[in-house]
Amino acid sequence: MRIGIAKIMQETSTFSTQPTDLAAMMVHQVYHGQDVLWQPTMWEGFVEGFLDVVRHLDAVGVTKVTAMPAGNLTAAAQAHLLAWFEADLRAAMPLDGLLLSLHGAFAGDLDPDIDGLLIERARQLVGPDVPIGVCLDLHANLTQRMVAHADIIDVMHTHPHVDMKEVGARVARTLVATLAGKVRPAVVAVKIPMFTPAETQISDEPPLRDLMEMTRRQESNPRVLHSAVCAVQPWMDVPEMGWCAVVTTDGDMDLAAVKARELAALAWSQRRDYTRPCPGYMEALDAAFAAEVRPVVIADLNDLMTGGGTGDSTWYLKELLKRNPADPCYVTVVDPEAVARMAAAGEGARVTLELGGKQDHLHSTPARVSGRVLKVMPVAPDRELPETIGLTAVLQMGQVYAVVFERLGPGADPMLYSGAGLDPTCAKIMIAKSVVDFRHGYKDVARLFLLGAAPGLAPCDLLSLPWHRVQRPIVPLDPEMEWNPMAAPLYRGHGRAQFAADQRPSREGEVRE
């Protein structure tokens, strides 16, 4: 079997001030053909699960393009992306099956549904008889176009996201079983007119835990191959915005519809349970300094670097400097200008500069700071920090330490501090530019987790955003609306292919698995 593998992932916030352009995609490099499978960063997440299942078959690399969460994909970048993907997919053909590692919340200036566009183009190229398996993030915005052109869809079931490898393996196994004629996938989805704050979507706590338990109960039925919910990242002002329930069964569209409606009904019944008061950043700092334990990790969730925040908010930095703490406190700041000045000054130098507040100029202003350049880390293959964050430096201002990056990084990982030479266990307070995933990243370090909202591009107060394109009515913008999941329209999957191996014409010289 020849199984194509592609990874194209970006999570878009349409409210971001930073567009996803060609340069943003090139930061993580673009890989084509078999180079996709040989470069180390592919061997993670969904793709690691794919390869665990199909490595012994004829795995064929297609395209790998990823970018950090930011604003809409520009028209020029979209043209490049489609040209790469189409050329690589044509070069990889003929294929027996195709596995796509996507996020599901990728939007562009020309098309609000880039993931749907990619799946549609894949279907047009591989034809109706080649099954396409798709893996999505829990915060995907599943659309009718995505469902219409896919044969298998599965979604992360965890937040913090820790099950990507397992989901990839599940989809790959279903694809292989499809090609062997053992199953005939049938996908049905129900779009739910709601979106909810991200910080309360925690998969091992109610209300989301109840939905995840229902997906597991549904999958205990041997006819249900995949049961999932897309809880959509909430900073997307696009026409087809909202939660979605999606179920893949073995050849039974009616059963898939029943199970998808069941999931949608439970999600709808919980729609008000996700909205809770979120503490402000001053309140979070008060609680952190008063806590008897250390370290305390505070989520600067409105500036989360994986949800459209620019990572350069200065609210916490300014307040920490004002309080002049007696114990070490760590913050991160994305500021290419400042880190370049620090690198030019060199380790040990004292500098005065404007730090942060330059990209998200709507919510933050630069902090004028003075301190000592403690460490400078050029981009190098052997350093502990991710190369994609670029040049990095540490500025010490009394007991306040700022790790300054050239570009966005993984806001939920204490590696941003430890890799910069700071010991996370010595800190009284660490600021994480994350919303939920930091609970997993810091689980072996933190003694207390807190949320603290400061003004930013990814606010927990969703009603504060200027919504223009979402379909109305929708919760929470229309909290009193009525909706009946049992009468809602259904999205139906591809379902037209004849997948049994003995029904597909053999190619010359082909040896069937």
pTM: 0.94
Tens digits of residue pLDDT in 97-146: 999 999 999 999 999 999 999 999 999 999 999 999 999 999 999 999 99
d(CA 167, CA 324): 46
| Residue 56 three-state SS | coil
Least confident of 119-133, 297-311, 489-503: 489-503
Triad 463, 468, 469: Cα angle to 5°: 115
Tens digits of residue pLDDT in 11-28: 999 999 899 999 999 998
pLDDT band at 43 (very low <50, low <70, confident <90, very high): low
Least confident of 41-50, 193-202, 230-239, 453-462: 41-50
Report whether the peptide linkage leading into residue 473 is cis, meaning its omega lies within 30 degrees of zero. yes
Average pLDDT over residues 317-329: 98
Q: What is the mean pLDDT of the chain?
A: 94
CA distances, 442 to each of 103, 180, 225, 288, 416 (Å): 23, 43, 33, 16, 11
Per-residue pLDDT at 499: 37
8 A C-beta contact, residue 329 and residue 401: yes
d(CA 269, CA 266): 5
Per-residue pLDDT at 270: 98
d(CA 130, CA 163): 26
Tens digits of residue pLDDT in 55-85: 999 999 999 999 999 999 999 999 999 999 9
What share of the chain has pLDDT > 70, as a percent?
95
Tens digits of residue pLDDT in 339-389: 999 999 999 999 999 999 999 888 999 999 999 999 999 998 889 898 889
Neighbouring residues of 239: CB distance < 8 A, sequence distance ≥ 6: 112, 469, 470, 471
Is the per-residue pLDDT at 41 higher than 80? no
Per-residue pLDDT at 495: 67
Tens digits of residue pLDDT in 160-208: 999 999 999 999 999 999 999 999 999 999 999 999 999 999 999 999 9
Per-residue pLDDT at 462: 96
230, HSE (Cβ side, Cα atoms, 13 Å): 33
What DSSP designation does 464 have?
A: G
- Sequence spans of domains, the chain: 2-274+487-503, 281-459
8 A C-beta contact, residue 42 and residue 158: no
What b/e string do you get for 411-434 counting C-beta neighbours within 10 Å, with b at 16 or more? Answer: bbbbebbebbebebeebbbbbbbb
